[in-house]
Chains A and B, each alone.
Chain A
């Protein structure tokens, strides 16, 4: 009972997807989190609610609408075709888009809370010391919100590892392209290969637990230093 080549491909694909999605999420989540933490605009609750939506929606609902958007007949799919590409549904790129939407709240909310915990005091102090807006952001807000970023990256990564419903809807089950770990496990169970399903499930469980443990350990250490 060992992992066959197909399973290893699925494992590799899953890690790649989680990594790429996390990086994309950090790039999107940093300005979005900063905006949510600092804006006084009335539309902030609206954006907050939209970001939180993937927390409560069934992944299949998300996946379904993404499929409609990205598929050959969807607006984005047609745009891709016009531009000489191919529709994003059932591709790795499509999976990344799905994962980003699916894990958005897990990244944006810790980043937003990290920026909120900085508060106005250090930013005002930095301004009185001659730091302009960009300087303040990179030299004060970002380093002081680092706990939020660590939590965001870890949660985003771990959450993407375990995604199933969205992938099933927009990715399908193409080995090496869209067949990720959770789909592979599902396949094994379908074919009653419980041994392999067990091995992969336990691996995913331990990996996810380990990542969350790291987050909580680091958070405890930082909070100890700061008080």
Chain B
């Protein structure tokens, strides 16, 4: 199974917006599409869905051709789930009516996602008879997700579904999206401009700018790839895939084992043996020539410098290898000079904080 998304769109009018893409993606997991606003990521989703009549190209989902030179399957005949930024719930129907709208229009033969599973997974049972105007932002988006899933789509596209929500509400919905990803095996295209969101959810990353795809690949590699990726500025950071190797009940710490080392993190309800994603931001990693003692920092790991990337006038990003894992450290140019950092240097990485995603 794979997704083939290729084509171009020229918006009529004077703004001259031009979108062009050619993507071959595995039809599994979450592919995050990131980029600055106006780069065309929402329009890309609309092209895939069939909402842009002037789009010319190929859209193939597994064996199904939705669009190519001969065919153009209309939107309502595509096995597609679309979650809009504002949810687009129907105000004249209650929550149950919105969900049934999708369910009733899905033929029995293509129903693969059971009604009860969606209600249970997204905790919708208590909302059923509510008027959509009375839902909170988070509840709206849960209903919108459920409505899209009840169509049993072959592909789920999500257009910044959590952008309008506050941080706490977003954090409440991430686990639901992860369960959707793990339980339902529906590939998702997830548009977001928030790098931390992509880092948390995505398996693959597609970066866009000015209507073009600038880079793409597996998330872990992409986050630390030198050109042109996300290894810049405030958002720079690496994601480490780890397994919870040990739990310490005295200090409530968990040991995360990853290829090449381990990290001690505060245990906020991790299960032994579970997989966990840890995000380590470049600004939280400092470098030392010798392992320091008498410090509150728990995680001090031996590393090798891969290379140095200029970040801005005052700072550089240092790419580090710890075993097979790549981390980023943000240091001043002056420190880099003082420590005489160069590719191949052996050094100690002091990790001030680790975010469990």
Contact = CB atoms under 8 A, between A and B. Distances in A.
Given A129-B147, A129-B151, A124 B92 contact: no
B106 A144 contact: no
B133 A226 contact: yes
Max count, chain B CB within 10 A of own CB: residue among A124, A132, A144: A124
B82 interface: yes
Contact of B90 (A122, A128, A130, A135): A122
B88 A125 contact: yes
B75 interface: yes
B81 interface: yes
B140 to A, nearest CB: 12
Nearest to B134: A225
A121 B74 CA distance: 17
B148 A126 contact: no
B80 interface: yes
Interface in B87-124: 88-92, 101-102, 105-106
A132 B105 CA distance: 10
Contacts of A140: 90, 92
Given A122-B90, A124-B88, A126-B101, A131 B82 contact: no
A129 B152 CA distance: 10
Interface in B40-74: 49, 51, 74
Contacts, number: 65
Interface string A101-130: 000000000000000000001101111111
B258 interface: no
B91 A144 contact: yes
Contacts of A227: 133
Contacts of B76: 126-132, 135-136
B105 A125 contact: no
Contact of A128 (B49, B92, B131): B49
A130 B51 contact: no
A226 B82 contact: no
Contact of B102 (A122, A124, A130, A139): A130
B21 interface: no
A128 B148 contact: yes
Given A125-B82, A226-B133, A131 B105 contact: yes
Nearest to B147: A129
A143 interface: yes
Contacts of A130: 76-77, 102, 105-106, 151
Max count, chain A CB within 10 A of own CB: residue among B77, B101, B148: B101
A129 B105 contact: yes
A135 B76 CA distance: 10
Contacts of A144: 90-92
Contacts of A226: 91, 133
A144 B75 CA distance: 21
B84 A125 contact: yes
A225 B102 CA distance: 24
Interface of A: 121-122, 124-132, 135-136, 139-140, 143-144, 146, 225-227
Closest 7 CB pairs of A and B: A130-B105, A125-B88, A128-B82, A127-B75, A143-B92, A129-B102, A127-B76
Interface of B: 49, 51, 74-77, 80-82, 84, 86, 88-92, 101-102, 105-106, 131, 133, 147-148, 151
